[in-house]
């Protein structure tokens, strides 16, 4: 991991009428970090991710990616600069097969200029498509329609599609939501393994503290639109404000294997 | 992977039609001309439909294409079929590009109704303007072909077959490209398309212009085949409805579907009128209901089933 700042969020604010959804958010992200974003429902986590990825325009503040101001840019331009995301509800092409979903995603990201008019079935794309299916361990669902997939596989497909544009930062919105307790570590191992291989900086929203403890190198906790804690997990999960407003006092004080998997 | 036989099949079918047209009676050739010319518009609507968009106003482009031919004929004395066709496509492409900037921001019923509104603006202008033929429209002189003025309609029939084949091949190629795949992708999930770095608005705009040009060509060829243009049968909302009707009848499954569906519609309308002159619409409407209930994939689904069984 290098310490180069890749993403800087400065005094970010978002209001919806009288409601302040995000207030004075300041976060610096270094290349290679795996950051867990935690907070109760309505704390401002998704609003933050939506602003960074261009889904929402901030009311004020600045977002810099690799030194460039990307504040308020639309999603496709944010994606083109090197930031990608997945969603809490997987955003896939429901009527297509898993293979066609990935092939379409690869073709779209490779569609500058006249490339958009080239046939979609071409050796370079189909080879990359097959490789990605294997990397995310969804090759057994090759011909399954996306609408019929189990939740965990859908999540993997969603993230695989987000990764085809080769982003430098990936933001994941609850990658294990809707996934069974038995499956969640397996799914996360696949995701983090693939992302590590691609050397991607990761920010992910998560409610499951076991996941947070196991995979992140840093925790950013939100409460009522503000960042109340920004520390390594072993410190964040025993922080009094985090325990009061986010994870609850009953959560074990000793942090299990904190950060031990953060190198994933 | 199975080989797609759409283009070889279409090539053989349209070649047989083009050659066979020399031997068939005039009334049947006329039916085929109108059917195949309209099929171009259906091809354009098929592209939009696959994107999840239904236009209730494509008579705008059908009428613009037809009136471009008539105005070239009346004002400039241009009778060459290729020039007429080219100008009609340019005009409809230009108008489609301009209106596309507005329409690409709308979806569902708003897209349908806004497109209808634009077509009714043209209809209003045409019926109120004497210089544009008002409610009577214009007569169009028979087309010439690179200075040659052959007798009869057979040369135009061949042109329609060849142009129809070319359009189908190009649309098929388009649908197999990344831009073509964006039809289903945009319909399924606009958010994902944007987060893959492609502008949904641009994708829809390209498809809209494409459908406008194809519909303009359909209008131009129909005007030359009919020898007449008028606002009621070419620009009114009923003309737009007819295009949507034939699109549903044909089905979105293949670029061959519009040619089959449009020809069947033409024959159905003729025979229905022959059978019950005052209630022929009931037969046509009943057929559409039957297709919606029993063949949601349109008439093409019958062919698709037969082809699948054949493999």
* C-alpha–C-alpha distance, residues B65 and B215, integer Å: 8
Would you call B188 and A94 a contact, using CB atoms and an 8 Å cutoff? Answer: yes
Spatial contact of A170 and A198, defined as CB atoms under 8 Å apart: no
Asked whether the beta carbons of A211 and A184 are under 8 A apart, the reply is yes
Quote the pLDDT of residue A209: 86
Q: List, as ranges, residues 115-144 from A with C-beta within 8 Å of B.
A: 115-121
Distance of CA B79 to the CA centre of its chain: 22
Query: Is A94 within 8 Å of B176 when comparing Cβ atoms?
Result: no
| Residues of A with Cβ-Cβ distance to B198 under 8 angstroms | 76, 108, 111
pLDDT level of residue B14 (50, 70, 90 thresholds):
confident
The b-or-e profile of B218-240 (16+ CB within 10 A means b, else e) is bbbbbbbbbebbbbebbbbeebb
Chain-centroid distance of CA A45 in Å reads 11
Q: How far is A251 from chain B (nearest CA, A)?
A: 36
Total domains, chain B: 1
Contact B298, B251 (CB under 8 A): yes
Is B221:B213 a contact under the CB 8 Å cutoff?
Answer: no
Give chain B's mean pLDDT. Answer: 92
Verify whether the Cβ–Cβ distance B178 to A107 is below 8 Å: yes
Whether B290 is covered by a domain: the verdict is no
Chain B residues with CB inside 8 Å of A104's CB? 178, 181, 184-185
Quickly tell me which residue has 């090197």 as its tokens. Answer: A82
Q: Which helix (H) or strand (E) holds A16?
A: strand A5-16
pTM for the structure as a whole: 0.89
Distance CA A155, CA A169 (A): 18
Q: Half-sphere exposure of B114 toward its Cβ, with a 13 Å CA cutoff?
A: 14
Is the CB of B185 less than 8 angstroms away from the CB of A108? yes
DSSP B225-282: HHTEE-HHHHTSHHHHHHHHHHHHHH-SS-TTHHHHHHHHHHHHHHHHHHH-TTTHHH
Q: How far is CA A215 from the centre of its chain?
A: 13
Q: What tokens does B69 get?
A: 């031919």
- How many residues are present in chain A? 264
Top pLDDT among A4 and A188 is at A188
Q: Is the pLDDT of residue A1 over 50?
A: no
| Chain B residues closer than 8 Å to A107 by CB | 178, 181
Domain around B206: 6-235
Residue A264 has pLDDT above 90, yes or no: no
Residue B258 lies in a domain: no
Kindly provide the ipTM of the predicted complex, given to two decimals: 0.89
Q: How confident is the model at residue A249 (pLDDT cuts 50, 70, 90)?
A: low
The answer as to whether B30 is a domain residue is yes
- The predicted structure's pLDDT at residue A178: 81
Query: Taking each helix axis from N to C terminus, what angle separates B154-175 and B6-20, rounded to the nearest 10 degrees?
Result: 180
Residue B278 domain-assigned (yes or no): no
Quick check: is B303 in a domain?
Answer: no
pLDDT for position B206: 95
Nearest residue of A to residue B200, measured between CA atoms: A76
**Rounded to 5 degrees, what are φ and ψ at B104?**
-65, -10
Phi, then psi, of B131 in degrees rounded to 5 = -65, -20
Position B163 pLDDT exceeds 50: yes
Inter-chain contact A108–B174, Cβ cutoff 8 Å? Answer: no
pLDDT tens across B177-202, in order?
Answer: 999 989 999 999 999 999 999 999 99
| A91·B199 Cβ contact <8 A | no
Asked which of A196-200, A247-251, B54-58, B259-263 is least confident by mean pLDDT, the reply is A247-251
Q: What is the mean pLDDT of residues B263-288?
A: 90
Mutation for testing the A interface, residue in B171, B195, B204 having most A CBs under 10 Å:
B195
CB B59 within 8 A of CB B235: yes
Q: Are A71 and A58 in contact (CB under 8 A)?
A: yes
pLDDT higher at B93 or A193: B93
The Cα–Cα gap between A220 and A231 comes to 7
Question: Cβ separation of A74 and B182 shorter than 8 Å?
Answer: no
Return d(Cα A61, Cα B290) in angstroms, integer: 59
CA distance, residue A231 to nearest chain B CA (Å): 30
Please work out, in degrees rounded to the nearest 5, the angle formed at the alpha carbon of residue B29 by the alpha carbons of B23 and B33: 140
Q: Is A76 on the interface with B (CB under 8 A)?
A: yes
Nearest-CA distance B58 → chain A (Å): 25
Report how far apart, in Å, the C-alpha atoms of B287 and of each of B42, B65, B273, B278 are. 18, 29, 14, 17
Instruction: List b or e across B150-163, with b for residues whose CB sees 16 or more CB atoms inside 10 angstroms.
Output: eeebbbbbbbbbeb
In a domain, residue B35? The reply is yes
Cβ proximity of A91 and A43 under 8 Å: no
Q: Phi then psi for A221, rounded to 5 degrees?
A: -105, 135
pLDDT tens by residue, B118-140: 999 999 999 999 999 899 999 99
Residue B79 lies in a domain: yes
- State how far the Cα of B57 lies from the Cα of B51, in Å rounded to an integer: 16
- Shortest CA distance from B171: residue in chain A: A117
DSSP readout, A94-143?
TTSBHHHHHHHHHHHHT-SGGGGGSBS--HHHHHHHHHHHHHTT-GGGTT
Residues of B in Cβ contact (< 8 Å) with A105: 192, 196
Within a domain: residue B158? yes
Average pLDDT estimate for A66-73:
93
Round to whole Å and give the CA distance between B300 and B311. 17
Query: Which one of A81, A89, A105, A116 would you mutate to disrupt binding with B, by most B Cβ within 10 Å of its Cβ?
Result: A116
- In angstroms, rounded to a whole number, what is the distance separating the alpha carbons of residues B92 and B89? 5
For residue A84, the chain B residue with the least C-alpha distance is B195
Partner-chain contact B189 A93, CB within 8 Å: yes
């Amino acid at each position: 991991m290098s310490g180069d700042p890749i993403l800087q969020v400065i005094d970010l604010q978002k209001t919806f009428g009288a409601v302040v959804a995000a207030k004075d958010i300041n976060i610096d992200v270094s290349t290679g970090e795996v950051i867990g974003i935690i907070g109760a429902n309505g704390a401002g986590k998704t609003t933050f991710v939506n602003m960074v990825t261009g889904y929402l325009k901030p009311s004020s503040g600045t977002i810099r990616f690799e030194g460039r101001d990307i504040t308020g840019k639309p999603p496709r331009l944010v994606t083109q600069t090197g930031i990608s995301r997945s969603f809490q509800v997987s955003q896939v092409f429901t009527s297509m097969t898993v293979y066609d979903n990935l092939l379409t995603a690869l073709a779209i990201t490779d569609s500058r200029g006249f490339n958009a008019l080239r046939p979609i079935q071409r050796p370079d794309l189909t080879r990359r498509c097959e490789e990605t299916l294997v990397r995310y361990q969804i090759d057994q669902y090759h011909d399954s329609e996306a609408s019929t997939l189990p939740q965990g596989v859908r999540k993997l497909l969603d993230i695989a599609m987000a990764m085809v544009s080769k982003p430098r930062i990936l933001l994941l919105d609850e990658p294990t939501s809707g996934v069974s307790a038995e499956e969640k570590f397996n799914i996360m191992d696949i995701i983090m393994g693939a992302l590590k291989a691609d050397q991607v900086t990761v920010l992910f929203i998560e409610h499951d503290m076991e996941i947070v403890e196991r995979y992140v190198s840093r925790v950013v906790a939100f409460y009522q639109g503000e960042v109340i804690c920004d520390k390594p997990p072993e410190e964040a999960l025993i922080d009094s404000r985090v325990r009061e407003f986010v994870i609850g006092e009953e959560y074990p004080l000793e942090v299990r294997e904190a950060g031990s998997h953060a190198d994933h | 992977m199975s080989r797609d036989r759409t283009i070889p099949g279409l090539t053989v079918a349209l070649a047989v039609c083009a050659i066979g047209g020399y031997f068939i009676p005039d009334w049947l050739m006329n039916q085929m001309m109108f059917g195949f010319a309209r099929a171009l518009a259906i091809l354009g609507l098929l592209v939009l439909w696959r994107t999840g968009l239904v236009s209730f106003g494509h008579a705008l482009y059908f009428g613009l294409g037809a009136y471009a031919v008539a105005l070239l004929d009346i004002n400039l004395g241009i009778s060459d079929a290729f020039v007429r066709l080219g100008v009609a496509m340019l005009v409809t492409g230009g108008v489609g590009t301009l209106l596309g900037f507005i329409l690409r921001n709308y979806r569902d019923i708003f897209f349908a109704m806004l497109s209808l509104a634009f077509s009714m603006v043209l209809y209003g202008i045409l019926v109120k303007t004497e210089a544009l033929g008002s409610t009577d429209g214009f007569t169009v002189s028979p087309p010439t072909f690179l200075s040659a003025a052959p007798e009869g309609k057979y040369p135009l029939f061949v042109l329609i077959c060849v142009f129809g084949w070319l359009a189908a091949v190009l649309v098929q190629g388009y649908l197999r490209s990344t831009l073509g795949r964006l039809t289903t992708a945009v319909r399924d999930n606009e958010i994902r398309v944007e987060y893959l770095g492609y502008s949904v608005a641009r994708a829809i705009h390209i498809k809209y212009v494409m459908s406008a040009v194809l519909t303009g060509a359909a209008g131009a060829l129909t005007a030359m085949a009919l020898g007449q243009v008028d606002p009621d049968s070419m620009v009114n909302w009923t003309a737009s409805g007819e295009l949507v009707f034939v699109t549903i009848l044909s089905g979105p499954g293949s670029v061959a579907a519009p040619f089959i569906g449009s020809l069947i519609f033409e024959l159905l309308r003729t025979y229905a009128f022959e059978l019950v002159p005052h209630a022929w619409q009931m037969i046509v409407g009943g057929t559409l209901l039957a297709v919606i209930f029993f063949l949601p994939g349109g008439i093409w689904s019958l062919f698709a089933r037969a082809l699948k069984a054949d493999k």
